[in-house]
Amino acid sequence: MPYLDIYLAQLTDPFRIGMLIALVLTAANTAQALNRWIPIALGIVFVAVLIPFSIGASATVDTTTAVLVGLVSNATILAVLLAAKALYSRLARG
């Protein structure tokens, strides 16, 4: 399975998107106690490893490949979520 197909499949995975939304909300709540980027970086790695090892990658995709492509897709999804959060904050302030 080509890398682009794996990447696009991971971008549309609702479980992955839900986990990353929860990550953004959790990082916002813990920003005062911890640096904001430490939980985000650890969360990206956690979600990228969790999904292929718990749910399982398809038989045609190596687990290592799924994790590495998952890191890139998680960073992409997270960039969109953080941009949407920044836009919402800017519009809400007035």
Instruction: Encode pLDDT of 3-15 as tens digits.
Output: 899 899 999 999 9
- Residue 37 pLDDT: 85
Is residue 21 scored above 90 in pLDDT? yes
Instruction: Check whether 33 has a pLDDT greater than 90.
Output: no
- Measure the CA–CA gap between 10 and 83, rounded to whole angstroms: 19
What's the pTM value of the predicted model, to 2 decimals?
A: 0.86
pLDDT at 1 exceeding the cut of 80 = no
Beta strands in 1-93 (DSSP E): none
pLDDT higher than threshold 70 for residue 58: no
Residues sharing a CB contact under 8 Å with residue 2, sequence separation 6 or more, in sequence order: none
Residue 55's pLDDT is 80
How far apart CA 71 and CA 48 sit, in angstroms, is 5
